[in-house]
Amino acid sequence: MNLHLDNGGEMNVRIATTRNLAAGLRDVGVTLNTRCGERGACKGCHVEIHRGQFRKNGQTIHVYNAEPCLERACQLIPVDDDGDIRVPTTSLLETAAQVDDAFAIHPFEHHPFIRKISVVLPLPAQGKGISDWNLLDNILRQELGDGELVEPDRELLADFSLLLAGSEDRRLGVTMEVRDGRGTILSIHDEAEDSPPILGLASDIGTTTVASLLVDLRNGEILDRASGYNQQISLADDVASRIDIAGTPEGTHELQRLVLFETLNKHLEILLKRTGNRGGNVHSIMLSGNTVMSHLLLGLSPRGIGQLPFLPVVRHYPTATAGVIGLAANRRAPVRVVPSIAGYVGGDLVSDIYTSGLLGMPGTTLLVDIGTNGEIILNDDGNLYGCATAAGPAFEGAGIHCGMRATRGAIEHLTIDADGTPHLEVIGDTRPLGLCGSAIVDFIAAAHHHGFINDMGRLDLDAVRKCGRYTSTNIATKDGRTVHAFLLAKAGESGTGHGIIVSEHDIAEVLKAKAAIYAGMKTLLASRGKSFRDVSKLILAGGFARHLDLISAVGIGLLPELERDRYLIVGNGSLAGAYLGLTEESAWGSFRVIADLPECIELNQCDEFEDLYVEALMIPNLEEDDFPGNHSPPGRKEP
Amino acid sequence: MAVNEALYQAVASGKKKQVQQIVTEAVERGDEVLPLLDESMIPAMQEVGDKFSRGDAFIPEMLIAARAMQAGVDIIEPLLVNSGHKPVARVCIGTVKGDLHDIGKNLVIIMMKSAGFEVIDLGTDCEVEKYRDAVINQGAKVVLASALLSTTMTYMKTLVDGMKDLPDVPIVLGGAPLTQEYVDEIGAHGYGRDASDAVRIVKDLLAKTA
């Protein structure tokens, strides 16, 4: 099979005829954006077929000496190994994802719990029961204030012995982790030779993306950042599919390998290279993620989370070492995973709770992490309640006709004039390739405000036609129905050669997602006899919330209408939690406490959830009392 | 009695409170309730379903209309027991074991009712026994089952296998992760792509067995 890439590259590769073309291309190193999980529901893996024979939905398509056709690679099974295919750059899975790794934390005192101690081992006269280790042990215990020192293993003693063998003045540097007065030696080096830095790695392990920080543990300084896709994405897009794959030992092992070796070790490699450090300098690793990711990091099968009663194997994870699980750091470096609250409320939420200061907030406060799964925590006068709500991937641009992640070329924000003229804000200031979630929210809010969309999310076709913005499209359903759409950028204005549109089907997808989040919050509040009126602080965590325009979010009814100062946006609280876990001695203990606090409810078992969900499907809501329009700035809401 | 235009519009546009008000008033006046259902509410819901099938309406609109319809049905249904109302057939529906999602299932229920079926709602997290009981002891002629998670979808095979000794009762499956291929593979009788489609499949299967 001949592959033609947009950068002029050509490849002749053998492609499997037993699997779909997207899977076959992945095998030869050409990874397409199969963001819908190879369901044929998006156009992420579009390829241009110039020649070849394929099976598609049980039928055979031939392309010979004809016009090339665009097809979803995941829906094609090659009949043979012969053919010519052009792979557009827009269909390649980018290795450099745009990841939101910004966060806000309160000022904190830096209490490093990893410290380096310089010692000179004496050479005493021979005596009863004395060894080099006894001498070091005595000195370190004194340093710990008569604390306990963990017994050395054979590898540590081997290092120790070789250092002594090569040292003239028996001057050693010992790097030790000290927690609760208990010391664990992480490394020993020759003080005369060098004084290596003491580094730590903090990572937020998301289902889609992973963000990492390289931290100097002596002063808490963030030396560098790295981020990218969680490479598990090459096997499956969503959490449920990952759980499916992890149903077998091989599947669990492969997912663990992808996140540790293909994702985290790649981050380590980049970070160490850029800062001129060695893996051996990394002495502590703190990872924060949802419960499924946390399980997979440690090679635990999360199968039980996939169905009622959604049980994780454990919530408080054992501390591993880098050497045992295969991370490219000091092999004795402890690898800690932030404990989980429940099957669908993970350590990322523990991090969010800790870093946002939710626990110390008086009255009724709410924290919501908007993602594929929206997790919500309610602090009701010191008692915590939690739930998860299935929003689906629409906010990440998946399942949306022109949807894409927030990478270069994505429309991030937009406004629409009363005459229907759109103004687009594109990441990277290039021609638009598609829209990311925040822009679709802007679109629905603005188009609804100007009357191009009614309360049900349907386009006013006359109004849209009158301003020349009407188009239609065949959506990615199995029967290829034609749906109405609003044209944001004409083919000539876009970077794809096709128009950038928002269809009624796209709007419906976003309405389902926002209804799940809004109804989830309202149901959780109602379960404690509270309403949004009682909420003194609404904390928004997660990368998406940082991009989100609050006025648009309230405009479509994703978020409740509260005064602006009641909103607190904390950004990537999961990464912030991992960072604090590395640098603040008390953080780990707090994580363990927080993970046991929330009482989680199952929304699908709450009678009112379905009603509230259906009400929230309308723009902004069927329940008009929720959105009186008092807190929208002038000009954005009809009188 | 002709179509009650106000009721028709209230259902089609999802105005739950209006539906409740119109139906309650009619009941209090002593009007016959069956025509309200047959001539106004059901046609309204069917119109929404038809629009959905054409790509002219979407899930949110369907759910909003279905909720309004349900509010009316809740008032009318108890009154139908003694009215000699004959349903097309009795069917049962439930979300499979391990799964709690029921919004999609409830939409199928209202579409089935709108097509004149009597529906036994088995709820969520249903084991095979529950479906069997509905067939054997409650006379359900068709079994409908849904799953929203790819992790719970696998229970459908357990369901199909567990119903093998009742070959006259068709099993129709639906839910986001399902495909026709999967349904065929595990040997179920029908796949409802969406709520409207499910009704059509059930009708077709019953016509075949009749």
Summarised one tens digit per residue, pLDDT across range A128-162 is 788 999 999 999 999 888 888 999 999 999 999 99
Interval B59-86 mean pLDDT: 88
Rounded to whole angstroms, how far apart are CA atoms A124 and A139?
14
Q: How many angstroms away from the CA of B58 is the closest CA of chain A?
A: 6
Q: How many domains are contained in chain B?
A: 2
Give tens-digit pLDDT for B174-203: 998 999 999 999 999 999 999 989 999 999
Rounded to whole angstroms, how far apart are CA atoms A44 and A558?
26
Q: How far is CA A461 from the centre of its chain?
A: 37
A512: nearest CB among B60, B106, B124: B60
Q: Which amino acid is at A159?
A: D
Q: Which residue of A has its CA nearest to B100?
A: A604
- What residues are paired with A86 via a beta bridge? A4, A48
Among A373-377, A423-427, A629-633, B179-183, which is the least confidently predicted range?
Answer: A629-633
Give tens-digit pLDDT for A43-86: 778 888 888 889 888 788 888 767 778 888 988 999 888 888 88
Rounded to whole angstroms, how far apart are CA atoms A179 and A259?
28
With cut-offs at 50, 70 and 90, classify the pLDDT of residue A484.
very high
Rounded to whole angstroms, how far apart are CA atoms B89 and B170?
13
pLDDT over 90, % of chain A: 62
Q: How many angstroms away from the CA of A412 is the closest CA of chain B?
A: 25
Interfacial residues of A (vs B; Cβ cutoff 8 Å): 240-241, 243-244, 303, 306-308, 390, 456-458, 475, 477-478, 481-483, 504-505, 507-508, 511-512, 515, 602, 604-605, 610-611, 613-614, 617-618, 622
Q: Model pTM?
A: 0.85
Rounded to whole angstroms, how far apart are CA atoms A417 and A404?
24
Give tens-digit pLDDT for A576-613: 999 999 998 889 999 999 999 999 999 999 999 999 99
pLDDT, mean over chain A: 89
With cut-offs at 50, 70 and 90, classify the pLDDT of residue A248.
very high
Give A556: exposed, middle or buried? Use CB within 10 Å, 0-12, 13-18, 19+.
Answer: buried
A114-190 topology per CATH: Ubiquitin-like (UB roll) (3.10.20)
Q: Are B95 and B197 in the same domain?
A: yes
- A96 or A278: whose pLDDT is higher? A278
- Chain B residues touching A472 at Cβ < 8 A: none
Interval A222-243 mean pLDDT: 90
pLDDT of residue A82: 87
Q: Please provide the CATH number assigned to the domain covering A200-337.
A: 3.30.420.480
Q: Are B35 and B109 in the same domain?
A: no
Residue with token string 């033609």? A4
- Chain A residues touching B150 at Cβ < 8 A: 240-241, 243-244
SS3 content of chain A, % helix, strand, coil (to 5): 35, 30, 40
- A328 or A51: whose pLDDT is higher? A328
Is it the case that residue A560 has pLDDT exceeding 90?
Answer: yes
Structural element, H or E, at residue B190? strand B190-191
Q: Are A295 and A243 in contact (CB under 8 A)?
A: no
- A591-619 burial, b if ≥16 CB within 10 A, otherwise e? beebbebbebbebbebeebbbbbbbbbbb
Is it the case that residue A301 has pLDDT exceeding 90?
Answer: yes
Kindly report the CATH number assigned to the domain that includes residue B97: 3.40.50.280
Among A78-87, A410-419, A548-557, which is the least confidently predicted range?
Answer: A78-87
Q: For A481-485, which contacts have Cβ atoms below 8 Å and span 24 or more sequence positions?
A: A481/B54, A481/B55, A482/B55, A483/B55, A484/A459, A485/A401, A485/A459
- A569 or A477: whose pLDDT is higher? A569
3-state secondary structure of A554: helix
With cut-offs at 50, 70 and 90, classify the pLDDT of residue A299.
very high
Interval A557-584 mean pLDDT: 93
**Is the Cβ pair B151, A512 closer than 8 Å?**
no
Residue with token string 């629009």? B51
Q: Which residue of A has its CA nearest to B101?
A: A604
A2-91 topology per CATH: Ubiquitin-like (UB roll) (3.10.20)
pLDDT, mean over chain B: 92
Is it the case that residue A302 has pLDDT exceeding 90?
Answer: yes
Rounded to whole angstroms, how far apart are CA atoms A194 and A461?
73
Q: Are B100 and B74 in the same domain?
A: no
Q: What is the interface size between A and B, counted as CB pairs within 8 Å?
A: 82
Give me the residue spans of the domains in chain A: 2-91, 114-190, 200-337, 351-393+511-626, 397-503
Q: Which residue of A has its CA nearest to B176?
A: A39
Lookup: tokens for A23:
């899977």
**CA proximity to B166, closest of B188, B182, B192:** B188
Rounded to whole angstroms, how far apart are CA atoms B180 and B197?
12
Interfacial residues of B (vs A; Cβ cutoff 8 Å): 14, 16, 54-55, 57-61, 63-64, 67, 97-103, 106, 124-125, 148-152, 155, 177, 193
Give tens-digit pLDDT for B104-157: 999 999 999 999 999 999 999 999 999 999 999 999 999 999 999 889 999 999
Architecture of the A351-393+511-626 domain:
2-Layer Sandwich (3.30)
A483: nearest CB among B55, B61, B67: B55
Q: Which residue of A has its CA nearest to B97?
A: A308
| Helical segments of A215-340, H only | 239-245, 249-259, 265-275, 291-297, 322-325
Residue with token string 């800690």? A336
Kindly report the CATH number assigned to the domain that includes residue B12: 1.10.1240.10
pLDDT of residue A633: 42
Q: How many angstroms away from the CA of A249 is the closest CA of chain B?
A: 16
Range of the domain at B135: 90-209
Is it the case that residue A32 has pLDDT exceeding 60?
Answer: yes
Q: Are B77 and B50 in contact (CB under 8 A)?
A: no
A244: nearest CB among B63, B125, B150: B150
B60: nearest CB among A456, A482, A483: A456
pLDDT of residue A400: 87
Give tens-digit pLDDT for B114-127: 999 999 999 999 99
In a domain, B165, yes or no: yes
Query: Which of B19, B58, B152 to substitute to test the interface with A, most A CBs within 10 Å?
Result: B58
